[in-house]
Every structure is written in structure tokens, then in C-alpha cells.
């Protein structure tokens, strides 16, 4: 085995990866795994998970096998490692037979430091035979939450990975994920046989991300205003629940001048690959996607993630929003949320073919997410509390920046619940609001609901206020969607004390949010004019390098590294080598060219 002294780990960190120091628990994790120990690592996106297995791979003899769920992700990571001078490769369905044979021969010969494989390929008999004939440094199981049936991204092929411990008990294993509540952590440990593993839990906080959840009124217009006001020309991801909504939203954004591309599983593979490639390689592309556009996103400079539909759980929300700001620079997580989202998600769970346990757990996860949406307190405190982390108000989410008011909504809740009951529990919010507001529409008159004592009882509140009341009643569990009548709302048992006047109800007062002038994320990190001009020249040089090498621009250098170069203006190789993100190999390969751009 290679020496595992801390000094050697630090030396590799600096010379290979170009980082002067470890972050958080990285050093302890690297030492533990390099010494032969198993580990479960929970670390937020952008927190440096990859180093936790890449460095031990270089410190130990043999090849590290990295289980990665998506082709695009492993290809980008291998491209980035090769830029650093690391002997890395991948095995996936994009390779022909000759390339597969060459890769397997390199593995047997010990000519690779890291090999990325998909879980289904790893457990094939041919692959297992190849592994048995090779010297293995470690197994790294990335996106380990995929093993959990309670998780937001369950993948059945991950269930077979316990055989790694059975076949290769002496090879250390490290499982990594950015998202796992206590229940999911326990399932990862059990299913991957990591009972003796050390568990490393870093803070789940992403302080550079600002969380904002707005009342859904005209969601596409709200989204466009958000993009134009705060992220004009930035790269971003917009998540929608359905493929049709993805296509329509992307087309609508394009018609309003946004460089938007759709992405979902209903598209042909070539179109999906082209759109993902453009997003990775070009500046300022907005991808509108279903969650099919997921874990393969390794782009560090995504400045915002927006949701036009409610995710299924806090884990899903955290994983998806975590794709913003991986470079540590300011980013936004923005979501438009309304009554229809609550009704739709509850109906999907209740009509699911899953077991009773699955529906129960799914409903509990949805309730936690609704609590995050409806909280009058700090979003970040609520989010971190879900993962068992205690924190103080952040001062950087919408509820901290503009604290919402609360009001005693007991009387309004009783009127709304009574209206649901007296109309037969067979109508949706639009009709119920018409009855409460005293609107004698054709449907109200036809059903004779204008003769009910609740007709006009809510004339003191406008339509928007009543929509907020019904949304919060649904979020609080007092009403739910009817299984048999699409769009209809019915009472739950918990509504009885409210109707009887035995329970009071407090609600958030949703006020129109003021436009935050000058909140552009670019302005927050703006360089002086001269340095900004140099930064643009450096980015143009990087883009040309990426084009010639057919790799994403961030594989050459991250924005953060180029920004530091523009600000420091290094005059020689020694000064350039002090810039974070420039290791020995990149200094040798690009140093002269970078200095030429700076001096010009």
C-alpha cells in the first residue's frame, strides 16, 4: 500500500487538484478510507465528495471502482480527472467492443487509478471475473441514496451492490450521497452491508443558495420575471412535473427571449444528449426538465434552480436545488407553489400502486415539504431540521428577508370547510370560492348553491385570499382530494374540531413580494471593470480550449479559478501556481497560455 501520511495526502491535494487545504471532514475521511476503512459520507452538493474517494484512490495500490448511475456524469468526471493527469476511464454503453476490451485490459494490468462503471455493469459475471483478476484499491458507491426504496431516486440495480462486500471483503468501500434523512441512512447501511462503516455527516447547509417560495398565480410569467430581474443571461434549470409542461414552458421562454431547451425521457436519446451537451458547454442556457435531468449534472456555475411544480419530498427538493451554485458563488432556489400542487401530490400518493407502508411514508415526506412551504419562519432552519441539523435563522431566504405576517384564520377556515361540506364534498376550489364570494355563476345557480347559507359568507376576502386559505387548509391536512371526483375537495377527520369551534387556525398572510432591485447575483460578485474585461478574455480562451478538446468548459477551469486569476493578475508561473484549482499538470499544460492572456 502507498503511504497514507497526512503530508502525502496534502501534497497530492495541492499538486494534483490545486487546492491548498482540505475542507470540513475531507482529511479525516481520506485518511480513514486510505487506511482500509469503510465509510458512509453525507456531504452537500459542492462540498467536495469526489475528493473523498479520488484521493484515497491515488494513495492506495490498485484501481478504485466508482459506481456512478449516469453516463454523462461519469464522462465529465473522467474528462476532468484526465486534465489533472489522473489515469481515469469509464465503462458504459457508449463504448464499442474494442474500447471495452482495452479498458478491461488496462484494469487487469493496473494501468488505471479510477474506473467509473454503472451498477448494472458492475454486477455482470464478466465484470466480476475481471475484478477478481485485478488489484482493487477501493469501491466508491456514488449517489448511494439510490439504494433506498424510501428515497426520491430509487434504482433497483443498486440493491445488488451488497455482493461487493461478499466477493471482495478486504476491499474498503465508501458510499456517498448529498441527500439522506435518518431513515434513508439506515437503509443504505443495511442494504450495502456497511454495518461496520464510519458515518461522516457534514452540514447540509448551502449558505450560498437563497431559498424563495412564492404563491403560484401566473407561474410562467412569475418565472420569466424572476429570470429577467435576477438571472438574465445565467445558466439555470427549471423543473416541471410533466413532459408536456416541459415542452410548453421551454417554447414559451424561447418566445420571450430566453435561451431555453427542453429535456425529458419522452425525447429521443440524440436530442436529450444534444441539449445536455449544450447546457454543459455553452454559457447562459436554461434547461426546462422533468427530474430525468438529474444526477448527471456536474456543471458548477448553475446560478438558479426553479420549480414550477411541487417536488415529492424535501430530499427531492434539496437534491434538485443543490444543483445550483456548486462553485460556492451566490445562487437561487425559486419555487412557485399553489393549491393544485398539494391536491395533485396527495392524489398521486393515495392512488399509488405502492404498499400501505410506501403510501404512509410518502405522505409523511410530503407533509414535511408542505411544512417547509408554509412556514412563517426561516426556510433554511426548517430544511436543515428535517435532516437533523439545528441552525439559526439565515437572513438569506425569502421569509428572513421579508418576514410573512400571520393571522387568525379560524373563522375563514370554518367558512371554507363548511362550504366544502354543504356543497356535498364534490367540487374544487374555483367553485367553492365562487359560492363563498357570492358569485352567481351558471354552475352555482344550476346546483342551487346560491340558496346555501354559505353563499356570500366570504365576500370580505378576495379570490386570491381564498385560494391561499384553501391551499393552507390542504397543506394542514384539513381537506384532501377526493379519489373518485377529479379536482374535488373533501373533509378529513381532523377538520371536525375546527368546524365545531374547538380548534383555532393560524395562517400565513401571503402578500405580493416587492421586486428586489439590484439583487442580481452577478452584481454581488462583480469585478472592477478592468478585471471583468480580463475575465471575459479568460473565458473566451477557455471556451476555445473546450471546443478543441470536446469537453465542457468547466473541465478546463471553473469560473472561480478564472475570477481569481483576473483579480490577482499573476505575472509568473509561481504566482499562477498559487491560484486555487491549478495543480501541477494544469500549470504545465496551460500556464504559459494563461500568462499570455493576462499580460496581453
Q: Among residues 408, 430, 432, 412, which one has the least CA distance to residue 420?
A: 432
- Mean pLDDT along residues 434-443: 94
- Per-residue pLDDT at 474: 86
Pull the grid cell for residue 65: 471502482
In this predicted structure, what is the pLDDT of residue 483? 63
Burial class (CB in 10 A: 0-12, 13-18, 19+), 43: buried
The mean pLDDT value for 25-30 works out to 93
Fold of 6-201: Rossmann fold (3.40.50)
pLDDT at 392 over 80: yes
Tens digits of residue pLDDT in 118-152: 888 888 899 999 999 999 999 999 888 888 765 55
Domain 406-509 -> CATH class: mainly alpha
598 within 8 A of 570, measured Cβ to Cβ: yes
For the domain covering 209-404, report its CATH number: 3.40.50.300
CA 5 – CA 25 distance, rounded (Å): 16
pLDDT in tens, 452-469: 999 999 999 998 889 889
- pLDDT for residue 282: 86
Quick check: 104 pLDDT over 60? yes
Residues in the chain: 600
Read off the C-alpha cell for 139.
469501491
Q: Supply the pLDDT for residue 149.
A: 67
And the C-alpha cell for 568?
490577482
Mean pLDDT of 47-57: 92
| 341: exposed, middle or buried (Cβ count in 10 Å: 0-12, 13-18, 19+) | buried
The 10 Å Cβ neighbour count of residue 579 is 22
When pLDDT is averaged across residues 414-437 and rounded to a whole number, the result is 93
Output the pLDDT for position 152. 58
71-80, 108-117, 527-536, range with greatest mean pLDDT: 108-117
Cell output for 293: 435531468
Span 247-251, average pLDDT: 97
The domain defined by 527-599 folds into DNA polymerase; domain 1 (1.10.150)
75 pLDDT band (50/70/90 cuts)?
confident
What pLDDT is recorded for position 511?
Answer: 52
* 228 vs 24: which has the higher pLDDT: 228
End-to-end CA, the chain = 47
| CA–CA gap between residue 63 and residue 57 (Å, rounded) | 7
% pLDDT > 90, the chain: 54
**59-71 average pLDDT score:** 90
**Mean model confidence pLDDT for the chain:** 88
Residue range(s) of every CATH 3.40.50.300 domain in the chain: 6-201, 209-404
Q: What is the pLDDT, as a whole number, of residue 524? A: 43
* 482-531 pLDDT, tens digit each: 766 667 888 999 999 999 999 999 988 865 444 444 344 444 456 777 78
Higher pLDDT among residues 293 and 570, named by residue: 570
Domain with CATH 1.10.150.80 in the chain: 527-599
Per-residue pLDDT, averaged over 379-392, amounts to 90
Q: How far is residue 48's CA from residue 69's CA, in Å, rounded to a whole number?
A: 18
How many Å apart are CA 65 and CA 63, to the nearest integer? 6
For CATH 1.10.10.10, the residue range(s) in the chain are 406-509
pLDDT band at 295 (very low <50, low <70, confident <90, very high): low
What is the predicted pLDDT for the residue at 276? 86
Please write the tens of the pLDDT for every residue from 528-567: 777 888 999 999 999 899 889 988 888 899 888 999 999 9
Show the cell assigned to 593: 497560455
Residues contacting residue 290 through CB under 8 Å, at least 6 positions apart: 239, 240, 241, 242, 243, 246, 263, 264, 265
For the whole model, what pTM was predicted? 0.80
**231 pLDDT higher than 90:** yes
- Model confidence band, residue 189 (pLDDT cutoffs 50, 70, 90): very high
Q: What does the block give as the cell for 446?
A: 344550476
Rounded to whole angstroms, the Cα distance separating 136 from 146 reads: 24
417-449 residues labelled b (16+ CB within 10 A) or e (exposed): bbbbeebeeebbbebbbbbbbebeeeebeebeb
Contact between residue 258 and residue 286 where contact means Cβ atoms under 8 Å apart = yes
Residue 265: all three cell numbers together: 425521457
Amino acid at each position: 500500500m502507498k503511504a497514507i501520511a497526512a503530508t502525502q495526502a496534502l501534497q497530492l491535494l495541492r499538486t494534483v487538484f490545486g487546492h491548498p487545504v482540505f475542507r470540513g471532514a475531507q482529511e479525516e475521511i481520506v485518511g480513514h478510507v486510505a487506511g482500509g476503512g469503510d465509510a458512509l459520507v453525507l456531504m452537500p452538493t459542492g462540498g467536495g465528495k469526489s475528493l473523498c474517494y479520488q484521493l484515497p484512490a491515488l494513495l492506495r495500490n490498485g484501481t478504485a471502482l466508482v459506481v456512478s448511475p449516469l453516463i454523462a456524469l461519469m464522462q465529465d468526471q473522467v474528462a476532468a480527472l484526465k486534465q489533472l493527469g489522473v489515469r481515469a476511464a469509464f465503462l458504459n454503453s457508449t463504448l464499442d467492443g474494442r474500447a471495452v476490451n482495452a479498458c478491461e485490459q488496462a484494469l487487469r494490468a493496473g494501468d488505471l487509478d479510477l474506473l467509473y462503471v454503472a451498477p448494472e455493469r458492475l454486477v455482470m459475471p464478466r465484470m466480476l471475473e475481471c475484478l477478481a483478476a485485478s488489484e482493487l484499491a477501493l469501491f466508491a458507491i456514488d449517489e448511494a441514496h439510490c439504494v433506498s426504496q424510501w428515497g426520491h431516486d430509487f434504482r433497483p440495480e443498486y440493491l445488488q451492490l451488497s455482493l461487493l462486500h461478499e466477493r471482495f471483503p478486504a476491499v474498503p468501500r465508501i458510499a456517498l450521497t448529498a441527500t439522506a434523512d435518518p431513515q434513508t441512512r439506515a437503509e443504505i447501511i443495511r442494504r450495502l452491508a456497511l454495518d461496520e462503516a464510519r458515518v461522516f455527516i457534514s452540514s447540509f447547509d448551502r449558505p450560498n443558495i437563497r431559498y424563495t417560495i412564492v404563491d403560484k398565480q401566473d407561474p410562467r410569467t412569475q418565472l420569466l420575471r424572476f429570470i429577467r430581474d435576477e438571472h438574465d443571461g445565467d445558466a439555470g434549470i427549471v423543473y416541471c412535473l410533466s413532459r408536456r409542461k416541459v415542452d410548453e414552458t421551454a417554447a414559451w421562454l424561447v418566445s420571450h427571449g430566453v435561451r431555453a431547451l427542453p429535456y425529458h425521457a419522452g425525447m429521443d436519446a440524440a436530442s436529450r444528449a444534444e441539449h445536455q451537451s449544450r447546457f454543459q458547454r455553452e454559457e447562459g442556457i436554461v434547461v426546462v426538465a422533468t427530474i430525468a435531468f438529474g444526477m448527471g449534472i456536474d456543471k458548477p456555475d448553475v446560478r438558479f434552480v426553479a420549480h414550477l411544480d411541487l417536488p415529492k419530498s424535501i430530499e427531492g427538493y434539496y437534491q434538485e436545488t443543490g444543483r445550483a451554485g456548486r462553485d460556492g458563488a451566490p445562487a437561487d432556489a425559486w419555487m412557485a407553489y399553489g393549491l393544485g400542487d398539494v391536491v395533485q401530490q396527495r392524489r398521486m400518493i393515495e392512488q399509488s400502486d405502492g404498499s400501505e407502508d410506501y403510501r404512509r411514508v410518502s405522505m409523511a415526506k410530503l407533509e414535511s415539504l408542505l411544512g417547509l412551504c408554509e412556514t412563517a419562519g426561516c426556510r433554511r432552519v426548517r430544511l436543515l431540521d428535517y435532516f437533523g441539523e439545528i441552525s439559526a435563522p439565515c437572513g438569506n431566504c425569502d421569509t428572513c428577508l421579508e418576514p410573512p405576517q400571520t393571522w387568525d384564520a379560524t373563522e375563514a377556515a370554518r367558512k371554507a370547510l363548511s362550504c366544502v361540506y354543504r356543497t356535498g364534498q364534490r367540487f374544487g376550489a374555483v367553485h367553492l370560492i365562487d359560492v363563498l364570494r357570492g358569485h352567481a355563476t351558471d354552475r352555482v345557480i344550476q346546483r342551487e348553491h346560491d340558496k346555501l347559507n354559505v353563499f356570500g359568507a366570504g365576500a370580505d376576502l378576495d379570490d386570491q385570499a381564498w385560494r391561499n386559505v384553501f391551499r393552507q387548509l390542504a397543506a394542514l391536512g384539513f381537506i384532501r382530494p377526493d379519489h373518485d371526483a377529479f379536482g374535488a375537495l373533501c373533509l378529513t377527520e381532523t377538520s371536525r374540531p375546527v368546524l365545531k369551534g374547538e380548534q383555532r387556525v393560524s395562517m400565513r398572510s401571503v402578500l405580493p413580494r416587492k421586486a428586489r432591485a439590484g439583487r442580481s447575483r452577478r452584481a454581488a460578485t462583480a469585478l472592477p471593470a478592468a478585471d471583468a474585461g480580463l475575465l471575459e478574455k479568460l473565458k473566451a480562451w477557455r471556451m476555445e480550449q473546450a471546443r478543441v478538446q470536446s469537453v465542457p468548459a468547466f473541465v478546463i477551469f471553473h469560473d472561480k479559478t478564472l475570477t481569481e486569476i483576473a483579480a490577482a493578475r499573476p505575472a509568473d508561473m509561481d504566482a499562477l501556481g498559487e491560484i486555487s484549482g491549478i495543480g501541477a499538470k494544469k500549470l504545465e499544460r496551460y500556464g504559459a497560455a494563461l500568462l499570455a492572456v493576462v499580460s496581453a
